[in-house]
Structure 1
């Protein structure tokens, strides 16, 4: 028996959990027609097969039709959910993992123009800023109907064979009743502490009556809203005591903070650059005060922190949810003594930001997550060893080298710079985003373990590549910052890369023109502001930084709003001219062609994405077997490439920004789906 605290079993009432690691409820937005079909099932099954003790599904499943998902959630109010959840549960049970689901009514945390266009309800009239709907104040018949909906949904989950249900009582309807900040009702559901907690207790009682004593019920609840007039720490402890005394609740899952705005949400679910496990001690405080089985997850990204949480008795089960999106095989690697092989969660929160934009959750550097039907988490060896040459040691090139080496091929990587990393190394120069270098460091370690040869400070020409007699050549040379987009005066501007790299010193009064809308501009703005520059960030878009999604925008704004930084939307930079020892920026608009304005500044910075560095690709293209062509149908389906038509010799592919300016995930995904079958 292992003595590792994380690998000890845990007895939760009648259920034995095989270790102390779980994935908490979260919605990756993989359902189809509101149902957890194969994509959803395989996502959870991957973690179950790799050893996680408890996989919690749905964050959260909707119990009522007037709780329409704002992204692609499971519809627990439909009877057909039973069959789909049963298949998922049976598969995970067979793999040794317990399965639960989170049920909720969103209350005001949704929109009236989703689903069936029913009015949004809440325990008060206040709008939630994040979702903008003005709610109808809930009526008695609404309360009775919704309690019944909860009970129906819990009964469906028991019929599907799940081990239990967790109810969401933070930010959603239960919490909107419990919090004095959102509950304006009178007796019996408003006013006093007991009255505000009554709705949650009524739901729990109705569900327990339906499912009986041998089905687990838990509550993930806000035990401290960290806001004046809201639920206090003392209130949170008392809520836990009431849940315990009721006999209706088998476990608690502790939340601290609110989620009604992007800024508040990042306090509950911190992103990179923020403190790891910020609420762990608080969760331990609740456990110590009440003694109930206690779960918790909030940026617990590494095994050491998780082990500490269990070893010190602060938690009974530790949630490593985003960490399992980066590497679903964490438990297996712990058991096999391979912790150094765990792919790190770098806190980019690309996963959550995508779902809040209405897309599916994806890990920034594990493209197999959510694509288990077509992409492998474990690379299988090739039947024949080949010679593979990769040009470029950014994220795309390193992923190509890693996968090729795991396939058993002999790999050489050419890199013009002295160190690996490409654009990520530039990104990681900003202290808040320093964790991004983990994407590079992990791949370098994996390549080193498989004897990949690196030739740094080598600008590869076609003759260098051909001298290696390769069977496959991967061009991952990335892109170069594009700044020459003006009608005149391009020679007077610098790129955002120039600022971030330190090649150009910040000016005193700076116009930063950003029509790429990505992290690069925001990082450059922060760099400039921290250096004391006065900065105007200008974009032709109707909102600034549209590619920097909600949660990741928060730390930028916290860094910029107390400095001399302004944002100008719907205007564009047309030209630049010299103005004595300063610069004159000519500004126009897409909306009014006749508009002309001027800005007098010391420096003009342009962020316009990148253009591919692809000369080597085009030099090699006519010499390759496939003439550089990619079979897109095969690529999408996860099948091997079989294009030909050129002279015999080597196959040639280009990936990442060497194709077109995209992002880190796209670059790594390019590499994985090409190389997994080479």
Structure 2
């Protein structure tokens, strides 16, 4: 029984129906700084799914807070109607709705037209990650921004929101004022701890004055920023104790890290390399210093884990943002104790923060309906149930099967191998990537609940299709390793990365991994071999290993690879090999690069689509050719995200 997770919680003048929180996160569902229909539909799904509290993404409180071209802004009355729509959809389902109030200070990522704008911070201390050199705020601007927080809160109150959260986390402006290494001011906002706290204190005082005590007012803060000039945990804790003692806080939202450094930013959306709930010792420290409720976020993706955090008294409510991105129905399912029906987040970061970093609306590789609620959230029943054959049990085929079956079709998946899962079965074998296998576990469970039949060990050809006579065929036959025309001598030992991942062992001695794609295959295989005691050189055509991976995932994999002792040869392509030497070519200068003394070359050269069945069916006469659809790598080799997305689309189209 999740007795604690589904107990109401009082925060200031508001009461949460349960302790599950969707914490503030950018969605890239904004137009001209304002709320869109897409954002309303996105948040409505979380509210309908049973979240107790939805904290909206950051709202800029001043024109200088516009940190991206898709920032939500709360600095003019124009924002009120959009925020009111968000409040209404939350309240319709019994969810409280708070909003984050934000100024990033030196954190400016981009502008609307691509030019570099001016960033304003407590002091002229540069940002390491984005390499922005800010301008120190004049005293007039400081006071203008403080009043901007209060005015924005008043607008959100008029819009019907229940609370506001001051973002002092991840090295943003309030933290820049509070930190001694980012605040070099000599006026009343700098110097002593009391002066450095003055900015945040006055922000909270102004917000409370402008809202009259009728909204919950909290602060989000990093307990340790993990950066070279970041706010320390001790200073953050002392600030919270002081503000709580002054009666300025209704709650504290705890996180870790800073957006200003690479290592610090990896905590913003921690990957599967981090233990679930790894930040809870920090929230426990906060609870010992403050008298108000504490929310914690940090890789807590299962309701049972959330219950344990509450049971241990480490927090009062749990931020489960990616869990809700992956499965908005998680709270309702957990309340009914239907735990096996919950689609668990695997911490891959591909379509959530990965989309944000690329400037696209966020989604989820496992649930591509997320962010596309207006198009796909409702599964329209099929007008006439049909027999559907899905060939290939990878993620794309399984998703197509699930969606088609949910719409009423009779679906059978045929998989040539002994297990369904496709390349996910490879990815889960790599160091630090075991949780990736959850993507297939979740899909298999969904298939079972949707009455999808799965037949393994069956290789399908055109004759088999004709024998079964389905109404429609979904081809999801995937891809196979691609091998370009290299010059290998007969005594060169050449292996495929897929085979090494599955257990094939290169001869004793140093190994070269030749990586073309720059994804998880090359870096993961190199790390696996190095952790088994091999000397490994990773030759990649990119500037760095893992170049196509989302930054936080890449950082974790790079760290693990470097700690394992892998040597990286960037900007090199493989040309050929003999028994003990790999011959490379620099991709910019065409100069030869030799790696000598190796025992084997392992190829990670991407994949080629398996179009065998598609070609056979296309060659049939029109009157014998079944309705066919293709998804995933057999169309063009990409990632699991595209495979599942295409599977969903085909499932809706059948």
Compute the TM-score of the two structures, normalised by the length of structure 1.
0.90
Q: Are the counterparts in 2 of residues 71 and 355 from structure 1 also a CA contact under 8 Å?
A: no
Equivalent in the alignment of 1:273: 273
Equivalent residue, structure 2, for 1:628: none
Gaps of 5+ in 1: 625-645
Q: Confirm or deny: 8 A CA contact 1:66 1:118 kept in the other structure.
A: no
Deviations 1:235-261 (A, max 9, x none): 333322222222332211112343322
Which residue of 2 is the match for residue 31 of structure 1? 30
Change in CA separation of 1:489 and 1:184 when aligned onto 2, cut-off 3 Å: farther
Question: How has the CA–CA distance of structure 1 residues 499 and 71 changed in structure 2, closer, same or farther, with 3 Å as cutoff?
Answer: farther
| Residues 629-676 of structure 1: CA deviation (Å, up to 9, x unaligned) | xxxxxxxxxxxxxxxxx4377321111001111111110010111112
Equivalent residues of 2:512, 2:582 under 8 A apart: no
The count of corresponding residues between Structure 1 and Structure 2 is 649
| Contact 1:353–1:552 (CA under 8 A) maintained in structure 2 | no
Change in 2 beyond 3 A, CA 1:545/1:108:
same
1:599 counterpart (579, 590, 595): 595
How much does 1:226 deviate? 5.6
Name the stretch that deviates more: 310-319 or 328-337: 310-319
Matched ranges for 1:303-382 at <5 A: 303-350=303-350, 351-376=352-377, 379-382=379-382
Correspondence for 1:403 = 403
Match of 1:571 in 2: 572
Q: How does 1:156-175 map to 2 (within 5 A)?
A: 156-170=155-169, 171-175=171-175
- Cα offset for 1:606? 2.6
**649 and 563 in structure 1: CA distance in 2 versus 1, 3 angstrom threshold:** closer
Is 1:474 aligned to 2:474, yes or no? yes
2:581 to 576, 580, 583: 583
**What is the CA deviation profile of residues 58-98 of structure 1, one whole-angstrom value per residue up to 9, with x for unaligned ones?**
1x222222223236321222432222111222222222211
Number of the residue aligned with 2:636: 660
2:515 is equivalent to residue 514 of structure 1? yes
CA deviations 1:19-42 (Å, max 9, x no partner) are 111100011212122222011111
Q: What is the CA-CA distance between 1:548 and the residue it aligns to?
A: 0.9
> Within 5 Å, which residues of 2 pair with 1:86-165?
86-111=84-109, 117-165=116-164
Taking a change above 3 Å as real, the CA distance of residues 179 and 588 of structure 1, as seen in their structure-2 partners, is closer
Mapping for residues 130-279 of structure 1, pairs under 5 Å: 130-170=129-169, 171-225=171-225, 231-267=231-267, 269-279=269-279
Residue aligning to 1:390? 390
Report SS of the residue matched to 1:80.
helix
How far is 1:372 from its partner?
A: 0.4
**1:389 partner SS:** strand
Deviates more, 1:73-82 or 1:102-111: 73-82
Separation in structure 2 between the aligned mates of residue 229 and residue 584 of structure 1, nearest angstrom: 43
Deviation at 1:288, TM superposition (A): 3.5
Q: CA RMSD in A?
A: 2.4
Measured after TM superposition, the shift of residue 233 of structure 1 is: 4.3
Equivalent position SS for 2:221? strand
Q: Report which stretch shifted further, 277-286 or 308-317.
A: 308-317
- Residue equivalent to 2:41: 42
CA distance in 2, matches of 1:677, 1:659: 17
- Contact 2:269/2:349 (8 A) holds in 1: no
Distance in 1 (alpha carbons) for counterparts of 2:506 and 2:572 = 26
Q: Which residue of 1 aligns with 2:292?
A: 292
Partners of 2:85 and 2:229 in 1: how far apart? 45
Q: Hey, which bits of structure 1, 4+ residues long, moved more than 6 A?
A: 487-491
What SS does structure 2 have at the residue aligned with 1:432?
A: coil
Secondary structure, aligned partner of 2:208 = helix
How far 1:422 moved relative to its partner? 0.8
Contact 1:55 1:97 in 2 (8 A): yes
1:383 and 1:92 mapped to 2: Cα distance?
A: 33
Give 1:599 shift: 3.0
Counterpart in the other structure of 1:538: 539
Secondary structure at 2:583's aligned position in 1? strand
Contact in 1 for aligned 2:25/2:56 (Cα 8 Å): yes
Partner of 2:442, secondary structure, is: helix
In the TM superposition, what whole-angstrom CA distance separates every residue of 1:576-635 from its partner, at most 9, and x where no partner exists? 142xx323414243x335x334332332233222111111112113558xxxxxxxxxxx
SS of structure 1 residue aligned to 2:389: strand
**Partner residue of 1:616 out of 613, 618, 624:** 613
State the Cα distance separating 1:446 from its structure 2 match: 2.2
Q: Is the 8 A contact 1:536 1:566 kept in 2?
A: yes
Which residue matches 1:633?
none
Which stretch has the larger CA shift, 545-554 or 232-241?
A: 232-241
**Selected match of 1:651 from 627, 632, 639:** 627
Query: Residue 275 of structure 1 aligns to a residue in which SS?
Result: coil
Distance (Å, rounded) in 2 between the aligned partners of 1:470 and 1:525:
44
Q: Is the 8 A contact 2:227 2:260 kept in 1?
A: no
Unaligned runs of 5+ in 2: none
> SS of the counterpart of 2:63?
coil
Retained in 2: the 8 A contact 1:6–1:310? yes
Q: Secondary structure at the match of 2:650?
A: helix
Q: In 2, distance between residues paired with 1:336 and 1:423?
A: 34
CA distance in 1, matches of 2:372, 2:194: 46
